[in-house]
Structure 1
Amino acid sequence: MSDLTSSEKRKLERLFGMGSGYVLDFSNRTFAEFIEESVRRDIYDARYEHGSGSKANRLRGFWSLESNPIVGKLIGDLIEYGKDLNAFKNDGSLPDECLKIVARLRQANPVADIDALSATVDERDFETVANHIRDIIEKNEPEAGLDRLHTFIIKFVRTLCAEHGITVARDKPLHSRFGEYVKRLRDSGQLESEMTARILKSAISVLEAFNDVRNNQSLAHDNPILNYDESLLIFNHVASSVRFIQTLEDRRKRAMPNPEPVMTNDDIPF
């Protein structure tokens, strides 16, 4: 649910003229169409029924149920729509104040561990994919980035295998590569609990399912793409897994003995 304050709600209600039960100049049909296009939600779903069920009350119900990024996107789109109508000509600074509310709401990232999805080696392609993924999440469009997320995780797992001296054929599926990596972690005693090992083993089957999503439900091909909520779940699951693995790898590297320093002429004391 969003964390709009009472003061913020009052400002938005004034801007959109919600006191009468309406929202701007929308009819029931155009209101539903606008929200479907903006955030892919059915505003006439029973869960948004609030008070009298008017458009204004349904928007209030939407604010109480949806996350900050979703609410921020819809409010931002409504403000742009109102500006196009010239609906705010007598509202002074209120539109700008409401845009500040939008900016605050959009700061809340829908993918908690998005920072983990960054290139782990200095490689242009890897960095490009990682940057593209973060741009997509900032726009709150995870369904548009599933193919890029799949490419990212392939590159990430390939790098892990290389660091552990695991040689895998280029055409080996993603889940099989990750399975080799998990086996190496277990065999080398890097995992302290059986539960952690089981969680990572379950991730192998998750990545196998991701292959199907990438091929049949993403923009990698001419597909009907997966819905927003399931796409967001995939992003959060993958990002949290990557975050854990990065932490595990950092711990492993810190535990490795430091190589003996190589003496140069400048190191010889005279």
Structure 2
Amino acid sequence: MSSLSFTERRDLEQYFGMSSGYVLTFSDRTFSEFIGEAVEMDIHSERFEIGGTSKANKLRAFWKLESDPVVGKLLLELVKYASTSTEHQTPENKSLGERCRQIASRLLAGSTALKPLKNHAKALDANHLADQIQRMENAVDCDPSLAIGTAKELIETCCKTILAEREAPVEGQPDIPALMKMAMKELKLVPNEIPDSAKGANTIKRLLNNLGTVCQGLAELRNLYGTGHGKHGKASTLKPRHAKLAVGAAATLATFLFETHIQTKS
């Protein structure tokens, strides 16, 4: 089941012209061919007829039954297709199309990795953290540089939030590796806190060292390709797959730090 909200479904239905039972200008045959090529599924199978047999109802059933990545992939292809039609060239429709593309990007952004992080942002009443998560979701496919830059900022926000929650002083404006060290020390995640006699001590220490490596890598990637620094006009950019790697790594690391914070906070 996808995580489409009521408002998202409303925008998508409006953009795809589904109120009449149709989807864009597709016939039954071209609709089947398009979806078959996009996600290798038969949209006319019985499982998608739970709400009716019109193309619009079958698409609604698809949204209900399929996962975020599958729905996101199809939506992105539908938005691309719709954006080429003459009727979708008005400023209003272009704006609606951009919202629909962002919805598709959200579903494709690795919601499995980001969902626990969203829950932590909500529990901590951390609005800035929630905004960063939303920004990464929206940008990962259309603006990889922004997604990469935000992934690095996410770790900074995570560390600062944990340190503030634990009333640990932060002096000056430490960079992200320094913040990470401070947070790990506060959470007793530094390698020298692990006794040599502990089972798997060497493996645990290596994994903890790698947390810092992930953090440093995100900072370096952001400096090279992310937003926040001016670059020359011919600078190359990374692809969405690189942004997904950065977002996934940042989300996994931040989730681990938040869960450690919650479980060990006295």
Q: Which residue of 1 is the match for residue 109 of structure 2?
A: 110
Q: Does 1:78 align with 2:81?
A: yes
Instruction: Report the identity percentage.
Output: 11
1:130–1:152 CA contact under 8 A, matched in 2 = no
Q: Pick closer, same or farther for the CA change 1:196–1:170 going to 2, 3 Å.
A: farther
CA distance in 1 between partners of 2:88 and 2:244 (Å): 33
Q: Which residue of 2 is the match for residue 41 of structure 1?
A: none
Identify which of 242, 247, 252 aligns with 1:235: 247
CA drift of 1:198 comes to 3.2
Could you tell me the TM-score, scaled by structure 1's length?
A: 0.53
CA drift of 1:80 comes to 3.7
2:82–2:88 CA contact under 8 A, matched in 1 = no
Q: Which residue of 2 is the match for residue 212 of structure 1?
A: 220
* Cα displacement string for residues 167-207 of structure 1 (whole angstroms, at most 9, x for unaligned residues): 45434321232123324414667x99644553332021121
CA distance in 2 between partners of 1:242 and 1:156 (Å): 6
Identify which of 144, 147, 163 aligns with 1:161: 163
CA distance in 2 between partners of 1:147 and 1:212 (Å): 10
CA drift of 1:231 comes to 0.5
CA drift of 1:114 comes to 2.0
Q: Pick closer, same or farther for the CA change 1:103–1:167 going to 2, 3 Å.
A: closer
Q: Which residue of 2 is the match for residue 180 of structure 1?
A: 182
Q: Does 1:247 align with 2:259?
A: yes
Q: Pick closer, same or farther for the CA change 1:151–1:196 going to 2, 3 Å.
A: same
CA distance in 2 between partners of 1:240 and 1:12 (Å): 40
* Cα displacement string for residues 46-90 of structure 1 (whole angstroms, at most 9, x for unaligned residues): xxxxxxxxxx79x8555349854233112122124346289xxxx
What secondary structure sits across from 1:178 in the alignment? helix
1:175–1:204 CA contact under 8 A, matched in 2 = yes
What is the RMSD computed on CA atoms of the aligned residues?
Answer: 4.4
1:110–1:137 CA contact under 8 A, matched in 2 = yes
Q: Which residue of 1 is the match for residue 64 of structure 2?
A: none
- Could you say which structure has the larger radius of gyration? 1
Could you tell me the TM-score, scaled by structure 2's length?
A: 0.54
How many residue pairs match? The answer is 192
